[in-house]
Amino acid sequence: MMFVKEDERHYMDLAEGIKMKALTYGQKTLMSEFRLSEGAHLPSHSHFHEQIGYLISGRIRFEIGGKTYEAAPGDSWCIPGDVLHSADILEDSLAVEVFSPVREEYLP
């Protein structure tokens, strides 16, 4: 079991304008928080992890598997493993995402 207080984790810079911190993780999943700055771009990439997300605030335009989606607060997504995806941050945004299996490179 794991219980983590908010101030125990620190942000990693993943790209310009994209910060992530691991919130908590178990044997099969990792939950993370992303702080995304308006104008940031996450280039097209894929990974074998399934990725499920929820947008708390802001706006993000995703390209997932060749289709474009615009997320607003309250929207959620699921990106299967090995599917190409990218994101353009349209407004300062806060998102929570869960990865399965755990993304080892995101662990504190």
What confidence score (pLDDT) does residue 8 get? 61
φ and ψ at residue 11, rounded to 5 degrees? -80, 145
Interval 8-45: pLDDT, tens: 678 999 999 999 999 999 999 999 999 999 999 999 99
- Cβ atoms of residues 75 and 1 within 8 Å: no
Number of other residues whose CB lies within 10 A of the CB of residue 13: 9
What confidence score (pLDDT) does residue 94 get? 98
Q: What is the rounded CA–CA span in Å between residue 85 and residue 97?
A: 14
What confidence score (pLDDT) does residue 41 get? 97
pLDDT-derived band at 5 (thresholds 50, 70, 90) equals: confident
Number of other residues whose CB lies within 10 A of the CB of residue 9: 15
What confidence score (pLDDT) does residue 11 get? 92
10-100, superfamily in CATH?
A: Jelly Rolls (2.60.120.10)
Cα dihedral: 45, 61, 59, 98 (round 10) = -40
Q: What is the rounded CA–CA span in Å between residue 73 and residue 55?
A: 5
